[in-house]
Chain A
Amino acid sequence: MLGLTPDELGILALSLRVAVVSVICSLPLAILAAFALARLSFPGKTLVDAIIHLPLVLPPVVVGFALLVLFGKRGPIGSVLNDWFGIVFAFRWTGAALASAIMGFPLMVRAIRLSIAAIDQRLEVAARTLGGSRLWVFVSITLPLALPGIITGVLLSFARGLGEFGATITFVSNIPGETETLPLAIYAFIQVPGGDSQALRLSIIAVVLSILALVTSEWLTRRSERLQGDDSR
């Protein structure tokens, strides 16, 4: 397909699966965190804000190492998940998705938080007086109005997940067919004599994928803005 070898297709499919799963799983949490940071005031807010932003400033290797310590089979979280639920992150594609999710999380939260903060809160008050409970107002008013920010956040996190390297290789290593995503495969080919052409082919795939993601998100953003009656663009 598209002149790609089965190996390349496998790498591409795995990369997409890792990025998509990481985005889908982190999105609800990111929306909650963004809402809390934009709207609520609670003790320790600054600390929570700092922790969410840590992956943005820490070396990815450090994040990967922390994941290994916490979510490894003998780690405090990893062992509980393994014993009770049979969920294993270490050296699995799920671990790559977890690493991607954590690295993309601050980007997602930032974008969504900005768009929630921009909403006129009196619209929500109006919805309450019309009979909407807090939860329903959040679903029917806040979320749709924050949609442009949510789309941007999803794109940023998705792109971050596709490109994630340091935390992934540290946490789940480079196992072909299980954890070998695009960046890891490119890196592996570069290490092998004569692998340059392979690395180049994969790099082109990565570029095309990124452009596609950008175009899609731009289209979705315009659509959601048009939905809100903003035809000024």
Chain B
Amino acid sequence: MIAVDIEQRLGAFHLEVRFAAEAPIVGLFGRSGAGKSTVINAIAGITKPGRGCIRINDLFLFDSVKGIDLPPEQRRIGYVFQDALLFPHLDVESNLLYGQRLRSTDERFIEPARVIELLGLGTLLRRKPKALSGGERQRVAIGRALLAQPRILLMDEPLAALDVPRRTEILDYIERLRDELRIPIVYVSHSVPEITRLADTVVVLSEGKCLAVGNVDAVMGRLDLKPATGRYEAGSLVDTHVTAHDSEHQLTTLTFDGGELIVPRLEVSIGERVRARIRARDVSLSVQRPTEISILNILPGHVTFIDDETGPVVDVQLSVGSATFTSRITRRSFQQLGIHSGQELYALIKAVSFDQRSVGYA
């Protein structure tokens, strides 16, 4: 449980953020300049807020009223920086152990061997940071933060400096940490795919204010947050589990309480949880169940919300089981079908519109 309630003035920028979140991974989402870094620097104790308090479980890291302000070295916050910041004069092993050596034995609960195995660092231990690739550096930085035996891990856009294949690789590692070490993570990013893939609870920041806090499916699907989450990125999330593989056609079936989704084959075993992200522009609507059509995913639902701004585009929110889909259609189609709230409709989603980026472990 992390609770933040802080206020800070930086020139003309006024930050006033209040949220409390309890989740394996809390996503701190916002455009650049929204105040994300200010918030996590305050959590880590690198900058001091003007007023407020920061608490992890029952421990106050900062409280301007009680006069508490723990120095960063006593907060036990593992901070993974955007550009790794490995110590250039130490080899990988010494970098990894830098923090662990400063913790007393009764504070240690994460073993070096475990971290080295988990992050695949075994062959790198004798190397100097300069001899590492960007992805390797970031893995070492994550390992170093973990071995400092933190109460919580802060990750500030850890993928920003990496190319796309490396990003996927690091995302896989982060999910392994969450599942195997059970350490709470605050993940800062301006990327919707990263946040929706990793986070359970999301905090949306904009211009120094906290716009929304809540379950990532609910918050990222909310149409009223579009200015902060972005129109292009509008979409919805569905938590599913794998129920079948069709090896002949290279397809995988994902099941959730509103039905089944057929997606291109995933290398995931049956029964595992998978979170699918569906972009609003990939969802078509039909009043009747269409037949003789190439689209594999046809799901019945009813309209819960219509975002009808001026312009050629209308976003329709559809409830399918307990999931919420957003469909982006033209105003012309919207009027021709006469869509109204509560109406029963079919959501049509092409299986090929799911790519690796939109379907991930959860």
A-side residues, CB < 8 A to B, are: 120, 122-123, 125-133, 136, 140-141, 144-145, 147, 227-231
Contacts and interface: CB of A to CB of B under 8 A. Distances in A.
A122 to B, nearest CB: 6
B102 A129 contact: no
A144 B88 CA distance: 10
A229 B128 contact: yes
Given A129-B73, A129-B75, A132-B102, 11 more contacts: A120-B85, A123-B85, A126-B81, A128-B45, A128-B72, A128-B73, A130-B99, A131-B76, A132-B99, A133-B73, A228-B89
A229 B129 contact: yes
A231 B73 CA distance: 33
Contacts of B99: 130-132
A221 to B, nearest CB: 14
Contacts of B78: 129
Interface residues of B, number: 27
9 contacts: A123-B88, A128-B71, A128-B72, A129-B78, A131-B148, A132-B102, A145-B88, A227-B89, A229-B88
Contacts of A123: 85, 87-88
A144 B81 contact: no
Contacts of A120: 85
A230 B72 contact: no
A130 B81 CA distance: 12
A129 B44 contact: yes
A127 B87 CA distance: 9
B79 interface: yes
Interface string B80-108: 01000101110000000011001100000
A131 B81 contact: no
Nearest to A232: B130
Contacts of B89: 144-145, 147, 227-229
A126 B79 contact: yes
Contacts of B285: none
A162 B102 CA distance: 42
B68 interface: no
Contact of A129 (B79, B88, B130): B79
Contacts of B44: 129
A127 B44 CA distance: 12
A130 B130 contact: no
Contacts of A129: 44-46, 72-73, 75, 77-79, 145, 148
Interface in B41-80: 44-46, 71-73, 75-79
A228 B129 CA distance: 9
Contacts of A130: 73, 98-99, 102, 144-145, 148
Contact of A131 (B46, B85, B103, B131): B103
A136 B77 contact: no
B46 A125 contact: yes
Contact of A127 (B98, B103, B128): B98
B130 A230 contact: yes
A69 to B, nearest CB: 45
A122 B85 contact: yes
A136 B148 contact: no
A137 to B, nearest CB: 8
Q: Name, among B72, B77, B81, B102, the residue most crowded by chain A CB atoms within 10 Å (CB to CB).
A: B72
A229 to B, nearest CB: 3
Nearest to B130: A229
A55 B76 CA distance: 47
A130 B315 CA distance: 46
Contacts of A133: 71, 73
A145 B90 CA distance: 10
Q: Name, among A126, A133, A145, A228, the residue most crowded by chain B CB atoms within 10 Å (CB to CB).
A: A126
A136 B128 contact: no
Given A126-B85, A129-B72, A136 B131 contact: no
A125 B77 CA distance: 12
